[in-house]
Structure 1
Amino acid sequence: MVQTKRADFNGLAKELSVSPVSVRIMRNRGMETKEAMERYLYGTLDGLYDGALMKNMGEAVAVLIKKLREEKRIRIIGDYDIDGVCASYLLLTGLRRAERELGKRTGPAGSTRIDYEIPDRVRDGYGINEAIIRQAAADGVDTLVTCDNGIAAAKEISLAKELGMTVVVTDHHEVPVEEERQVLPPADVVVDPKQEGETYPFREICGAVVAYKLVEKLYEASGVPREEWRELLEFAAIATVGDVMRLQDENRILVKYGLKQMARTRNLGLRKLVEKTGLDITDLSAYHIGFVIGPCLNAGGRLQTAKAALRLFLSEDEAEAEQLAEELKELNDVRKDMTKKGEDEAIAQVEERYMGDKVLVVFLPDCHESLAGIIAGRVREHFHKPSIVLTRSGDMVKGSGRSIEPYHMFRELTKVRDLLPKFGGHPMAAGLSIKEEDVPEFRKRLNENAELTEDDFIPRVWIDVPMPLEYVTEGLVEELKRLEPFGQGNEKPLFAQKGLMIRSLRVLGKNRNVVKLGLVTDTGLSMDGLLFGDGDALQRELAGRDRIDIVYYPDINEYNGNRTLQAVIRNYKAAG
């Protein structure tokens, strides 16, 4: 499918000093004005929005500064994923630093204890709960500060208030709605860009960015130099990519400059983790965060405790940081093996029993419940059908679902809510609990209700421009690099050409997962094509064919001092 959004591509290209191709790509990513494109191309850290614009930010800072001055005990309640861990680190660092600065000016304090709690994924579930609140009260905690959770915890926060605690909620999730009205928790202050009357210009930020903005204002109020706040940027960037936020507007600036900041990070734990994963800290991309660093940080929360990732960031001891980084790397390797096993079992189960189903419901009783969402995503990719993976959890069955565009998963689950003691989610993903004996009925009714057609199961590949290889130059490749970082909402540009002649084909790598193709256009231009994937499958598909249609991204191959243009193939189809 070709994107067909319209604009004055040539005129804008001249005004912005880029090619019409870049303008078309930006237009395809939702930018309509010259100003939006300028911000995208040339935006700097000065373009970040002031945290003071966020509703209730001033009140939150005032409460926390007062508590710091009074040396009250403060506990941060985070979440077990990458966003929650980074948000917890930012608030912990920010509050402790503000406390030290205030202590300088008001005499030695030192008695304020600022600590944290992160729920256990399996034992506690998501967000602040009654046990955490009662423990905080028993420990003499005066003030609770949530991050990346809390907006939906009205009942729990009511308990905290009954027990005499001050509560500040910082979150970025949707506010619960009852009878078409938002229902905020009864906290002393709520900072969440999704609440009604919000005055912040860009609401699609993650929990760690909300925390980052709170720290900005805390530092201002306590007299901490602004440079110290800027040094924390990398954690806002890691969380933005890890929580799969759209890399547009402020998010793109945060990630672009956060990646640069990581190259010179002073955080020992982060350096050690990058080292353990074999990456170059001076050349990190959003891909590395999303698919290498992020999964290691999430592995602790999935299989053991997210506190390991937070301890890594807080560590100032070389040996301890080294050990924690190694543990997280090893945990992620275990997680990958467990995920692959679960994925293979799920695909086999579908192929044996459920190929005719429109909505795939797979029951893997022995699979670790924290992996259900990842496996559901893999099953969805494999069959291009809405997929729900269920696992046994105590005396119940828990599940995670991943959907396709035409199927609103949350709405469909509401139609079978009588079978679900607990469920939640949005159009593309959901979580649920169900009794084991109700699973067959659940599968049956989801499929009876599904209004999907065979056309809905055909995956669509969107391309930016049908562009012949003749148009690819080193200059264009370098210009496309200016559009980075790529990720959710700012996808890597894709181009296409049909009917390329195949002059040669070689399958490389010990796993035969790299294919090098010699391609020739009808005008006689030759260029290498590189495909990462199943080389043997490609050979079978091309057997007896001498032409190929490709969806590709242009790149430069550097080898022995030589630079040659190449097409990195994302999708292909035998032609001719």
Structure 2
Amino acid sequence: MEKWFIASKRADFNKIGEIFHISPVTARLMRNRSLTTVEEMQRYLHGSLSDLYDSHLLKDADKGAKIIKEKIETGKKIRIISDYDVDGVSSNYILYQGLKRCGADVDYKIPDRVEDGYGINEHLIEKAAEDRIDTIITCDNGIAAAEQIAYGNSLGLTLIVTDHHDIPFQRQEDGSISYNLPSAAAVINPKQKDCPYPFENICGAVVVYKFIQVLYDLFGIDRRESEAFLEIAAMATVCDVMPLCDENRIIVKEGLRRIQHTNITGLQALIEANHLEEKKISSYHFGFILGPCINASGRLTSAKDALELLLCEDKELCRQKAEALTQLNAERKEMTANGVKAAKEYLESTGHANDKVLVVYLPNCHESIAGIIAGRMKEHYHKPVFVITGTKEGLKGSGRSIEAYHMYKEMNKIKECFDKFGGHPMAAGFSMQEDRLEEFREKLNANATLTEDDFAEKVHIDVALPISYLSESLINEFELLEPFGNENTKPLFAQKDLYIKGMRVLGTTGRCLKLFLSDANGTSIDAMYFGESDGFLEELISFCGKEEAQRIQKGLSHHIWMDVTYYPQVNEWRGQKNIQIVIQNYRFKNL
């Protein structure tokens, strides 16, 4: 069951509209995104690279740059160690290219997801020492590796940490908090409490983008050269689900503006492999098409494949590498679809679908896609979900949560079940022994205080906007709000009491439904629904009966109306333009 809420933030929308030459509707949408001052709105609409914060404000950025400059000038070997996701690969790319530009003797390592796990570890440090590496720079990891960094220090290595994750802490008996920073030569992370950088919610790739700017300043290199990394920093920002506000919004807008004509041969090949060269690339393409191709290598083979694509300058070789990654992502999608199907079958056949916290055991599932499957299950059941897989060492699991359930806190209550665990309110990961599985399920559910109200999906509506108010110019104006993503979601509108004049299923897959709707005043509009058309029709039959549903499908008179949430768009077909809405949520009613 869904609960619909309409935003109620107040402001003088007419006045805001006059200032920025926009409609009051668009002004309301900006206010709904927590913008309050004229300055914030100006930066939101028209922010540019000159509005980005000074890179030198990052704590230890200058210190780290001086260390690296000395290492480069004395010919010392430097190694980059990153994470294996999009942000990790992107960070590694920016650091490697930036250090090379400064004349560094530099190479890179990316941990293997299965063999090494996340981040820097003792094995990677020992290997660096064997290879006579002098300095290790981490990116998108390292802040939680205090023991590993200390071990590297003991071997005589110089270590610099660049990261963006939360600083590990311990709560003392008196309630105070002590932070556990690694003893690196420099720690560059905007989440540090004494870091003066004004915006802490940047991804790992943006942290190193800023660091390279500081290094370029030190070497006397025109920092405008660093703008060549903006497409990669933008993609990492979207794929790491950073909030698309403040300077992240500027970076992503600028990256999207440049990507259509990118000079990164490998990125251009990936765009072509996914048939996007003729399309206007948006944050959607970063998050759901290009990014997943890079992620697929870190999940199924080695993230080194993705990094090598970005670094490659041979067009034909790039084409081959890009097509291989695109194919790998297609395999990952198929594996995910099979995993989702198996997870639903497991929950329904065991009766565990009725639990408050869902624990899914898929022993043969590839551990790298457990988190994706957990996310899909969470969306389907709107409950917290853990998906557990079998490995050589025991069981591994990934969890995804709902707003009402703080996953990491709940796991802390049963820490005896785990060999290792970590996470956040909305996501977590762990390893455990097989004989702990049922205990884990039982204790999680015994502790859970979730109610039916918590399982209701919350739909946040921006504006109750009648379809009669829509125009092509207004819909085009909404493009000012792009790029959409975390904390700058695509606007959601709502209209009550729409009459269904008819409907038909489109396409061979049956996943697209076209409806012909009109309001009480006779304004008509076409509507598209891209969910499961079978599910839509089943709900309709359940609501009004088969006979009435058939009358609706045939366009005959009936008594069924709909409330919908939607996003409007201008559809162009054979040179003709018409306004249509894309339905996100719906509910039937008798009038």
TM-score tier after normalising by the smaller chain length: over 0.9
Contact 1:234 1:259 in 2 (8 A): yes
Which residue is 1:168 aligned to? 160
Contact 1:246 1:487 in 2 (8 A): yes
The CA deviation at 1:10 is: 2.0
Specify the SS of the correspondent of 1:195.
coil
- Is the alpha carbon distance of 1:281 and 1:225 closer, same or farther for their aligned partners in structure 2, counting shifts above 3 Å? farther
Contact 2:141 2:165 in 1 (8 A): yes
Q: In structure 2, how many angstroms separate the alpha carbons of the residues matched to 1:442 and 1:28?
A: 40
Contact 1:262 1:282 in 2 (8 A): no
Which residue is 1:58 aligned to? 62
Which residue is 1:190 aligned to? 187
Which residue is 1:406 aligned to? 404
Aligned length: 564
Which residue is 1:67 aligned to? 71
Which residue is 1:105 aligned to? none
Letter matched to residue 77 of structure 1 = I
Counterpart selection for 2:515 from 517, 520, 525: 517
Which residue is 1:452 aligned to? 450
TM-score by structure 2 length?
Answer: 0.94
The CA deviation at 1:35 is: 1.2
The CA deviation at 1:224 is: 2.1
1:127 aligns with 2:125: no
- The one-character-per-residue Cα deviations of 1:439-461 (angstroms, maximum 9, x if unpaired) are 00100010000000011111111
Contact 1:262 1:281 in 2 (8 A): no
The CA deviation at 1:281 is: 6.0
The range that moved more, 361-370 or 524-533, is 524-533
Which residue is 1:504 aligned to? 502
Which residue is 1:546 aligned to? 560
Q: In structure 2, how many angstroms separate the alpha carbons of the residues matched to 1:28 and 1:51?
A: 30
Specify the SS of the correspondent of 1:231.
helix
The CA deviation at 1:525 is: 0.8
Letter matched to residue 392 of structure 2 = G
* Alignment gaps of 5+ in structure 1: 100-111
Specify the SS of the correspondent of 1:209.
helix
1:271 aligns with 2:265: no
Which residue is 2:387 aligned to? 389
1:319 aligns with 2:332: no
Q: In structure 2, how many angstroms separate the alpha carbons of the residues matched to 1:539 and 1:154?
A: 56
Task: State the identity %.
Answer: 50
Contact 2:72 2:105 in 1 (8 A): no
Which residue is 1:26 aligned to? 30
1:151 aligns with 2:143: yes
Counterpart selection for 2:463 from 462, 465, 490: 465
Contact 2:6 2:462 in 1 (8 A): yes
Counterpart selection for 1:349 from 336, 343, 346: 346
Contact 1:400 1:429 in 2 (8 A): yes
Which residue is 1:366 aligned to? 364
Tell me which stretches of 4 or more aligned residues in structure 1 moved more than 3 Å: none
The CA deviation at 1:8 is: 2.2
Which residue is 1:205 aligned to? 202
The CA deviation at 1:282 is: 5.5
Contact 2:76 2:105 in 1 (8 A): yes
Letter matched to residue 46 of structure 1 = S
The CA deviation at 1:357 is: 0.5
- The one-character-per-residue Cα deviations of 1:306-331 (angstroms, maximum 9, x if unpaired) are 00000000001122211111111111
Counterpart selection for 1:2 from 6, 25, 39: 6
The CA deviation at 1:539 is: 2.5
Letter matched to residue 101 of structure 2 = R
Contact 1:507 1:536 in 2 (8 A): no
Matches within 5 A, 1:193-272: 193-272=190-269
Contact 1:260 1:282 in 2 (8 A): no
- Structural RMSD (CA): 1.1
Specify the SS of the correspondent of 2:250.
helix
Matches within 5 A, 1:476-515: 476-515=474-513
Contact 1:271 1:281 in 2 (8 A): no
Counterpart selection for 1:115 from 90, 98, 107: 107
Q: In structure 1, how many angstroms separate the alpha carbons of the residues matched to 2:312 and 2:278?
A: 18
Q: In structure 2, how many angstroms separate the alpha carbons of the residues matched to 1:201 and 1:282?
A: 35
1:41 aligns with 2:45: yes
Which residue is 2:282 aligned to? 285
- The one-character-per-residue Cα deviations of 1:463-498 (angstroms, maximum 9, x if unpaired) are 001111011111110110110000111000000011
The CA deviation at 1:352 is: 1.8
Specify the SS of the correspondent of 2:582.
strand
Counterpart selection for 2:580 from 548, 558, 566: 566
Specify the SS of the correspondent of 2:459.
coil
Letter matched to residue 336 of structure 2 = T
Counterpart selection for 1:77 from 54, 78, 81: 81
Contact 1:208 1:239 in 2 (8 A): yes
Contact 2:499 2:560 in 1 (8 A): yes
- The one-character-per-residue Cα deviations of 1:28-54 (angstroms, maximum 9, x if unpaired) are 112122211111011111111111111
The CA deviation at 1:24 is: 1.5
Q: In structure 2, how many angstroms separate the alpha carbons of the residues matched to 1:548 and 1:56?
A: 57
* Alignment gaps of 5+ in structure 2: 542-547, 549-558
The CA deviation at 1:356 is: 2.1
Q: In structure 2, how many angstroms separate the alpha carbons of the residues matched to 1:127 and 1:83?
A: 13
Specify the SS of the correspondent of 1:294.
helix
